[in-house]
Structure 1
């Protein structure tokens, strides 16, 4: 029996081109001209103009005052603020969260950035009699928790000073990072290795490890990790646990990025 070739996924070309325009304008640091859009789509200027003007009519594109090139319009802002992104992240990540909790038999958490804090938006509990309770809805400081530091992984000293000021950071335990300079060094290390740790920096007697969840463009949208008492989480387990958590974070990021289906 001959092997059937996979059926190509059908799509609407004009809609696809419109979405390419939106992605390109969103990623550009400068307004994009009509000529650049035409070159990008490999179509004539009149066709590019009709597509751009349709998006502009619906508020997805706009032209800066006195100019004819394009930036994102107010409809994009409105949609992004109407949609509950945290809820979407929970739906996409929950299965990975349960897998981590079951495989490592420790409480796993999912977090997003909320001002100067990390907000736990979902959790999966371990089977231990003594386990770390899932604190969904709890806010914890960014600078002294594994989840918080994972969310700060790309921040430089300038960004951190803007966020926390130049004064000392509040110490919660003897091991809490207390200066922006030390936090800057920590963030560089987290960025390089791909995960953050918490050596009883916020809660005495607890160890945590978390990895940033990144979209296809590298931006961080959340963090996933586990917490456990020091007695059950020796330092030598960091590398093993971090590997599994980082793999889960990458899988969530891929799902969130909605990669184009293969034919």
Structure 2
């Protein structure tokens, strides 16, 4: 490989990293004009890089067309940074939550590869003989899971239209919402009350509840969830645990913010 080709590839990687760093480190969504001005990257090249990052779900746009980190970038940040001390802290909180609720608890992240879905990032399994085991890394449907509906409720109208255009509202369980307007009403309710429920929508016989984790800029980072067999607890039973769930939610957000401050 010639030195010229190697140099061009290095230059392309540097530019891509430059764009990612500027968007990832900003405290608010960044307009393309600021990225072009601050990085010195040629305008056509910068727009191509932004398009590539948006198509691969590393960044997304707000209503003004400004860019901020999307699920892929946040997922990588969590994988890289939520380790060692912070991983122990996170798992200690999840262990405590699981003990108090006596059910499986964990975190779920949004993922767009190959189709939009939620993925279990971390999980503390209950000790009950009867339990529903969903492995870490397992993809779950956005429209039929507590964490998925929660994530959808945080999107702007334009972002929601884009995500919903990529998925089909298929029946997963007996109570799955398959009507678009009904789903949108459900998402509005979730946004107002700050948590999401799954009443046998993903798996027959399973109920779940999920609360959002946000960074300091108000960007959705992950969903903290609890699920269990409906024969043991109803959705109303899970709602009774909201004070405990919200305490864990705040603790997890604090761990993330402490981690972010340490690495900045």
Other-structure match for 1:161: 161
Q: Map 1:72-111; keep pairs closer than 5 Å.
A: 84-86=77-79, 88-89=81-82, 91=87, 93-111=90-108
Q: Is the 8 A contact 2:142 2:149 kept in 1?
A: yes
**Partner of 1:178: helix, strand, or coil?**
coil
- Number of residue equivalences: 208
Displacement over 6 Å in runs of 4+: none
Q: Map 1:1-263; keep pairs closer than 5 Å.
A: 27-29=29-31, 31=33, 61-63=38-40, 65=42, 84-86=77-79, 88-89=81-82, 91=87, 93-115=90-112, 116-165=116-165, 169-258=169-258
Partner Cα separation in structure 1 for residue 42 and residue 210 of structure 2? 45
Partner Cα separation in structure 2 for residue 81 and residue 111 of structure 1? 12
Partner Cα separation in structure 1 for residue 230 and residue 199 of structure 2? 9
1:113 to 1:187, Cα distance in 2 relative to 1, 3 A: same
Other-structure match for 1:52: none
**Partner of 1:120: helix, strand, or coil?**
strand
Q: Is the 8 A contact 2:94 2:105 kept in 1?
A: yes
1:173 to 1:85, Cα distance in 2 relative to 1, 3 A: same
Partner Cα separation in structure 1 for residue 203 and residue 209 of structure 2? 13
Partner Cα separation in structure 2 for residue 24 and residue 166 of structure 1? 29
Q: CA RMSD in A?
A: 3.6
Partner Cα separation in structure 2 for residue 119 and residue 200 of structure 1? 18
Partner Cα separation in structure 2 for residue 199 and residue 152 of structure 1? 17
TM-score after normalising by structure 2:
0.66
Q: Is the 8 A contact 2:170 2:178 kept in 1?
A: yes
**Partner of 2:202: helix, strand, or coil?**
coil
Partner Cα separation in structure 2 for residue 81 and residue 142 of structure 1? 18
Partner Cα separation in structure 1 for residue 203 and residue 163 of structure 2? 22
Partner Cα separation in structure 2 for residue 189 and residue 163 of structure 1? 19
Q: Is the 8 A contact 2:27 2:217 kept in 1?
A: no
Greater alpha carbon shift after TM alignment, 132-141 vs 89-98: 89-98
Cα offset for 1:193? 1.1
Other-structure match for 1:47: none
**Partner of 1:131: helix, strand, or coil?**
coil
Partner Cα separation in structure 2 for residue 32 and residue 165 of structure 1? 30
Q: Is the 8 A contact 1:175 1:201 kept in 2?
A: yes
Partner Cα separation in structure 2 for residue 224 and residue 204 of structure 1? 21
TM-score after normalising by structure 1:
0.67
* Structure having the higher Rg: 1
Cα offset for 1:143? 1.0
Partner Cα separation in structure 2 for residue 81 and residue 156 of structure 1? 18
Cα offset for 1:244? 2.0
